[in-house]
Structure 1
Amino acid sequence: MVTPLLDVRDLSIGFGSAPAIVRDVSFQVMPGETVALVGESGSGKTITCRSVLRILPPTARIDSGAITFTAGGQSCNLLTETRRMMRQIRGNRISMIFQEPMRSLSPLHRLGDQVAEVLRLHRDMSKAKAKARVLETFVRVGFPEPARVWKSYPFEMSGGMRQRAMIAMAMVAKPELLIADEPTTALDVTTQAQVLGLIKDLQKETGMAVILVTHDLGVVANMAEQVVVMNKGRVMERGPAPVVLGAPAHGYTRKLFAAAPAIPEVAAPARAQPGNDIILELRDVSKTYTMRAGGWSRPVGITACHEVNLSLERGKTLAVVGESGSGKTTCARIALGAELPDAGGQVLFRPSSNADVVKIHDMNSEERVCFQRQAQMVFQDPYSSLSPRMRIGQTLTEPMEIHGLGSKSERREKAAEMLRWVGLDPSMLTRYPHAFSGGQRQRLSIARALTLDPVLLVCDEPTSALDVSVQDQILCLLENIRDRMGLSYLFISHDLAVVARIADEVAVMRQGVIVEQAPPDTLFYNPRHPYTRALIAAQPEPDVNRPIDLKLVAKGAGAPGSWPEPFRFEGIAVPALTELEPGHKVRCHV
């Protein structure tokens, strides 16, 4: 009989004097096997995994249980092992990919040095050998320019790029067990497909086992042999993936599956054609950043977006889809006036149908204050956008204080109302951000954006950190608010299933340019560009019999110079965005 690599038995964990929040959790991980921990945000998945490496907060207490790790013919209980031995195990024999990379990466050190440190500590490699291994790993996790990434700092990277660096750090030492806590939440679907393929390849090469913490049932179907479903700190259902995914026995599991978004099988009725009431317009917007790679090297110009033209109709949702680093967030920041476009670009905003046009790229201080009240942003990384030193009540009332809205009691009542809107209890106003799960922090970020009653909401990956049931609630909430208040959304996402549900118009971006644009009912059923086709093919489905076609994904997600002749381009020498049919534009050579 094969001995489990990891055996978790009757694990119960609490904090302070409060009752246990993880109760009697048991599961096993066999060598080379992938076990998926599935459940809503706050169900105890991450706490369970952190206990394996003994990196729980100081206030945590282990009430009962044992975690037995068996490798190389030796077994040890990780809960009672010495600190010195745990330092040898962490990052070497057991690695972890954390959910929020910005909190896990040092802002003071270059990414290459941080990843190479694992090899120098645990493998005693020379600097040259460590650098060669790291650069090779950077290529495998999807970095197109590994040498530039080696010299970059975390704050110079997008959220998805930082997540790739975290994955590289966890995998570079080829551990026996990889704990992946939402490893692909911040990644676009094409990179997600490639990373999942990379994890599978490493498993075949090294026999590595994986504990996969995720709320994406499509990822579970593509990766896991065993599934453990958790809710409120308890195991609800456990078994082989085909059985749990194909015929879930527990009511909670069935509820999770029902909430999972999916690209619809048949086209919905055609949506209304765009009108003339445009609230936000980007005209010929380009943005070039100048970067110095260190030392005496010359500054290098990097084009984040090139000649972007977008129009958002009042009361509608315009989605911008693309991989990490494609320029989506840069466009959002320019739309909000946080960045200025290059010369010649214009950003126009009309707060109401009969109001004068405001040039966002050319506002004075008075116009800027007024605009900031009318347009708000929901950020991708809620932990970085919430002050760790401010209670949630202060965080939600601060925007109203700045703009002089209401009395102190009215502001507090408004904050409590916003918490109820996003499904949280007003009693949470006295807590700090660290007391919330990742999904709860994202809901707080949305609540704060709504406190000023804006007319335009820029949502930068607002549901990427949320489990499927909370994601469903947030999308329902955003739809209801949009319809009730007449809000307009510029919606940045890499999740096509979310976009198919909420968007009225979709623009697909790749390497700073829009390659295809159409309503979702046209785009998803008649995609013309190879990159759009790759995005759709890379969308994981919760069906073990329909795995991701990695060859199709690689074909469309490759360099633009490798695309079929009508779509091929090099650098920013791009073909024109051509209207092939009414409302359907594709960047191609006609």
Structure 2
Amino acid sequence: MTTESSVGSPLLEVQGLHVRLGGREVIDDVSFSIKRGDSLALVGESGSGKTVTARVVTGLIDRIGGVVTSGRVVFDGQELRQGDNQQWAAIRGRRMALVPQASLSSLDPVMRVGKQLAETVSVLDAGADVRPRSLELLEQVHMPRPQEVLRAFPHELSGGMRQRVMIALALAGRPELIVADEPTTALDVTVQAGILRLLGELRRETGMTLLMIAHDLAVVGLVSDEVAVMRSGRLLESGATATVLSTPEHAYTKALLAARPEASKPGAPLAVLDRETGELRAPAALPSVATDGAVVLTVKDATVTYRHASSPALAPVSLDIQAGASIGLVGESGSGKTTLGRVIVGALRPTTGEVLVHGKTWQEVRGRNPIRRDVQMIFQDPYGSLTPWRTPRQAVAEVLQRWRGLSRSASLAQAGDLLDEVGLPRLTFDKLPRQLSGGQCQRVGIARALASEPRLIVADEPTSSLDISAQAQILNLLMSLRASHGLSLVLISHDLSVIRHMTDTALVMKNGVVVERGPSTKLFTDPDDEYTRQLVAATPVLDSVPGVTP
């Protein structure tokens, strides 16, 4: 319990932390502290050591093969010992809780959400009436239709809804400290705003302390009192959030700010951080878009109604996608944008209506028909979309062998080239997905989608798990492929700044209905529909940094 005398004293202290993982030092002399009721955000690129630090703080570093070689973690005056199960049983979940990054792989796929919540509440909140408490937790995180969600399996929920379940589970024990690893990564802007408000309310009402891991600097500006910028396992700069984001001192922090989409004109190549030096590199010019105006794919009055659903997941939608077109799909979780994306790639058969590719419906295009290679999807969940026992090189080589007819040795060699093209570090090519960060897994998924040389890619939140510099690299890659190969792109994203930068046309969806469509720049600067105006208003905005020119 927080007392008046303890308010303002450090709840968490990390002192001189050094960690080895995979035979190398990944955390090098990291120190920070968080006062009771305050919040600190750790910011940096994928592989910078943010998540490893969170694993140490929550006593889970040994589960990924990491070893603390020196340093101390002190929680409420008590030094935490890695591997001391009895000590952690009294702390984890009750006094300290973790919201992990990968929502799908963190939930039990064969257990209904209600049962998972009930088990957690029973253990962490003794004496609570389990079902009402479970519903209360879902309502706290602004979950739509909480009664239905209790009966659902994780795979039946959208990525944003699964992430909200994870936050609800973390809140079950009413912890003093929440360690949130990218807690709003998969959330649309309105729900993200709600979750950030919730975290703020919890801090004010209960004195809860927050350690947040994030790559979105705009989100950091809304939720944290202090920010610490990490790179290659070291802290480069720290201080009050407003000060660091408005007048950064370190060149790397300035480069992170300048690599955001808002720093460049829509459609222009983005500045990219050099992963070796941390310096900002001027982007290469893009070729003009190569297109003959041919229609690659047509959606005709497609609808989707799931079994036992009270309303359609997708109302009638019609859409022509031309070669070289770039179309954005925007909306809240459950709006139907991912459902439409799955209909487009043939992963979901519409209840009524049809999808035509080269004049044929998906029902007519089966098995190894070459038409199937022309339409590929980049999936939202970076961990769940990869086979756990296949390395990145093997995962991409499998696609090359299937669609390009390459030998095993040739496909493995070319897989390495593709992984290099999407910016995956070479030392991770032959590791397993569980040994990679979320951003690294997402890059593997993008390389897999590109391996068949498609004409159309449906990208479902392709950069939601990526840091700012990796996002710029991937967005530049997609823009370059679109320009040089006439590649069509359907981009599903909750990040309106990405949609505005990357697409020519956008469709705004709500409850399965397209409520507004038109040029992307107009939709997000002068929208006609009230719902679109709400999305724009809920989008976190980071003011430009004086003296920084991308």
Instruction: Please tell me whether residue 120 in structure 1 is matched to residue 125 in structure 2.
Output: no
Identity of aligned residues (%): 41
TM-score w.r.t. length of structure 1: 0.84
Which residue of the partner structure matches residue 27 of structure 2? 22
Q: Match of 2:55, as an amino acid?
A: R
CA contact (8 A) 1:12 1:22 kept: yes
Q: Please state how far the C-alpha of 1:435 moved relative to its aligned partner.
A: 2.3
- Over 3 Å counting, the alpha-carbon distance change for 1:431 and 1:122 in structure 2 is closer
- Over 3 Å counting, the alpha-carbon distance change for 1:303 and 1:423 in structure 2 is same
SS at match of 2:316: strand
Which protein, 1 or 2, shows the higher relative CO under an 8 Å CA cutoff with sep ≥ 6?
Answer: 2
Q: 2: distance between equivalents of 1:224 and 1:427?
A: 33
Give unpaired runs (5+ residues) of structure 2. Answer: 269-287, 546-550
Q: Please state how far the C-alpha of 1:172 moved relative to its aligned partner.
A: 2.9
For residues 225-264 of structure 1, the aligned pairs below 5 Å read 225-262=225-262
Which residue of the partner structure matches residue 498 of structure 2? 498
Q: 2: distance between equivalents of 1:435 and 1:53?
A: 18
CA contact (8 A) 2:266 2:500 kept: no
Give unpaired runs (5+ residues) of structure 1. Answer: 292-299, 351-356, 546-590
Which residue of the partner structure matches residue 349 of structure 1? 357
Which residue of the partner structure matches residue 42 of structure 1? 47
Which residue of the partner structure matches residue 303 of structure 2? 286
Which residue of the partner structure matches residue 19 of structure 2? 13
Q: 1: distance between equivalents of 2:426 and 2:467?
A: 22
Deviates more, 1:456-465 or 1:305-314: 305-314
Q: 1: distance between equivalents of 2:266 and 2:155?
A: 42
Instruction: Please tell me whether residue 472 in structure 1 is matched to residue 478 in structure 2.
Output: no
Q: Please state how far the C-alpha of 1:404 moved relative to its aligned partner.
A: 5.2
TM-score w.r.t. length of structure 2: 0.90
Which residue of the partner structure matches residue 211 of structure 1? 211
Q: 2: distance between equivalents of 1:306 and 1:342?
A: 10
CA contact (8 A) 1:94 1:179 kept: yes
For residues 98-497 of structure 1, the aligned pairs below 5 Å read 98-126=100-128, 129-262=129-262, 277-291=294-308, 300-343=309-352, 345-350=353-358, 357-360=359-362, 362-365=363-366, 369-403=369-403, 405-426=405-426, 428-497=428-497
Q: Please state how far the C-alpha of 1:25 moved relative to its aligned partner.
A: 0.6
- Over 3 Å counting, the alpha-carbon distance change for 1:142 and 1:287 in structure 2 is same
CA contact (8 A) 1:319 1:499 kept: yes
CA contact (8 A) 2:266 2:502 kept: no
Q: 1: distance between equivalents of 2:12 and 2:476?
A: 40
Q: Match of 2:524, as an amino acid?
A: F
Q: Please state how far the C-alpha of 1:45 moved relative to its aligned partner.
A: 0.5
Q: 2: distance between equivalents of 1:397 and 1:178?
A: 40
Q: Please state how far the C-alpha of 1:265 moved relative to its aligned partner.
A: 9.4
Q: Match of 1:37, as an amino acid?
A: L
Q: 1: distance between equivalents of 2:537 and 2:266?
A: 16
Q: Please state how far the C-alpha of 1:408 moved relative to its aligned partner.
A: 3.2
CA contact (8 A) 1:220 1:542 kept: no
Q: 2: distance between equivalents of 1:301 and 1:527?
A: 30
Q: Please state how far the C-alpha of 1:173 moved relative to its aligned partner.
A: 2.5
- Over 3 Å counting, the alpha-carbon distance change for 1:285 and 1:178 in structure 2 is same
- Over 3 Å counting, the alpha-carbon distance change for 1:263 and 1:516 in structure 2 is farther
Q: Please state how far the C-alpha of 1:378 moved relative to its aligned partner.
A: 0.7
Q: Deviations over 1:250-306 (max 9, x none)?
A: 0111111111223989999xx99x995321221111001114xxxxxxxx4542111
- Over 3 Å counting, the alpha-carbon distance change for 1:81 and 1:391 in structure 2 is closer
Q: Please state how far the C-alpha of 1:108 moved relative to its aligned partner.
A: 2.5
CA contact (8 A) 2:266 2:501 kept: no
Q: 1: distance between equivalents of 2:108 and 2:516?
A: 37
Q: Match of 2:251, as an amino acid?
A: G
Q: 2: distance between equivalents of 1:389 and 1:169?
A: 28
SS at match of 2:406: coil
Structure of larger gyration radius: 1
Q: 1: distance between equivalents of 2:99 and 2:218?
A: 19
Q: 1: distance between equivalents of 2:495 and 2:413?
A: 34
Q: Match of 1:417, as an amino acid?
A: D
Q: 2: distance between equivalents of 1:15 and 1:253?
A: 26
Q: Please state how far the C-alpha of 1:424 moved relative to its aligned partner.
A: 2.5
SS at match of 1:22: strand
- Over 3 Å counting, the alpha-carbon distance change for 1:125 and 1:468 in structure 2 is same
